[in-house]
Structure 1
Amino acid sequence: MKIIETGFDGLYELEPNVFGDKRGYFFESFKKSLFVELGITEDFVQDNESFSVKGTLRGLHYQQNPHAQAKLVRVVSGKVLDVAVDLRKDSPTFGKHHTVILDAEKHNMFLVPAGFGHGFVALEDSVFTYKCSNYYNKESEGGVLWSDPVLNIDWGIENPIVSEKDQVLPTFDAYKQNPVF
């Protein structure tokens, strides 16, 4: 597995070794001992999966402490633009974001540590799956507005399909008034 640094502490793109032939392909999407070798020690406890039609934007979400989650995300089919925003107030990359295209044909993954807002937009109809290092807790939900002008994220799409809940998330300036990480 190849680990790609992003310039953000704990945020990595991962490219697995894919073995393919005329029958198809095989790869290890998760192997705890290999992750530990790479310095990734998250203890994943829950897997989630979603389907999104092309143009759907989900995010930017996080879980507050003590239910904060690291996520290992990838697409099983399709392609998404995945976004992570550093919400850790003491981080040198606080308020900055990193994007990566997750592509089912490439099989790449994105490791998003706790303390980041996370979201994605489906560039094609996509099945999105992710491992979480903590259990989901509704009372710990949080988020930042996907279209926040301070964050200035280029989602690469006009007029995305966004849930009502995600359209009214707080701005980054509001988050900075009372940061949770």
Structure 2
Amino acid sequence: MELERTFIGGLFIVNLNLFKDNRGAFTKIFNEDFFVENALTTDFKENYFSVSHKNVIRGMHFQTPPAEHTKVVYVNQGRILDVVLDIRTGSPTFGKFYQTEISSEAPKLVYIPVGCAHGFLSLEDNTIVSYLQTSVYNQTCDKGIKWDTFGMDWGVTSPIISQRDNLFPDAGSYKDIF
């Protein structure tokens, strides 16, 4: 495991090793000692996974206090364009976003701090994405930002988006939450 800093404070990429042999492949996606050494949280409360078709956009999701969370994202199968938007008022990168491609063939974790919205574009059919979160889902704290309102060029003309994600407010609607 190797930690890579991004220009958004608290947002890290953890590059992983992929081992392949005649049986298939193996990747270690979590090591508590590594996380502790790098001052990353290890107190995860829930683990989810989603399966998406190609051109599905999921996001931009976050939870408000008191159910805010740090999130770790990993691709088990397939490939995504992962996007993180800083919505922390007072942050030097407030309103800026970071994007990176993640795949099962080039494995890495995206470590997302509290105060950032998260989403992704599935680049292949049957893409499986796993999420670890440091809080339990809370429906009243579950929020989002409309995927096409913060300057991200998703590179797809006809994305598949849930009704819920399409109804989120635009990026300018959230201030002073974090």
The TM-score range, normalised by the shorter chain, is over 0.9
Q: Conserved in 1, the CA contact under 8 Å of 2:145 and 2:171?
A: yes
Name the SS for the 1:161 alignment partner.
coil
Deviation string 1:67-126 (CA, Å, 9 cap, x unpaired) is: 001111011111011100001001100000000111011111111111101001101020
State the superposition RMSD in angstroms: 1.2
Q: Conserved in 1, the CA contact under 8 Å of 2:17 and 2:107?
A: no
| Percent of aligned pairs sharing the same letter | 37
Query: Which amino acid letter does the alignment assign opposite residue 129 of structure 2?
Result: F
Task: State the shift of 1:42 in Å.
Answer: 4.0
Superposed, 1:106-121 pairs within 5 Å as 106-121=106-121
**Structure-2 residue corresponding to 1:11:** 11
**Structure-2 residue corresponding to 1:172:** 171
**Structure-2 residue corresponding to 1:41:** 41
Work out the CA distance in 2 between the residues paired with 1:12 and 1:161.
Answer: 28
**Structure-2 residue corresponding to 1:141:** 142
1:30 pairs with 2:27: no
Aligned residues: 177
Q: Which runs of 5+ in 2 are unaligned?
A: none
1:103 pairs with 2:103: yes
Task: State the shift of 1:50 in Å.
Answer: 0.7
Superposed, 1:120-131 pairs within 5 Å as 120-125=120-125, 126-131=127-132
Work out the CA distance in 2 between the residues paired with 1:83 and 1:175.
Answer: 18
Work out the CA distance in 2 between the residues paired with 1:54 and 1:138.
Answer: 27
Deviation string 1:139-161 (CA, Å, 9 cap, x unpaired) is: 1011111100xx21011211100
Deviates more, 1:156-165 or 1:37-46: 37-46
Q: Which runs of 5+ in 1 are unaligned?
A: none
Q: Conserved in 2, the CA contact under 8 Å of 1:42 and 1:70?
A: no
Work out the CA distance in 2 between the residues paired with 1:166 and 1:22.
Answer: 42
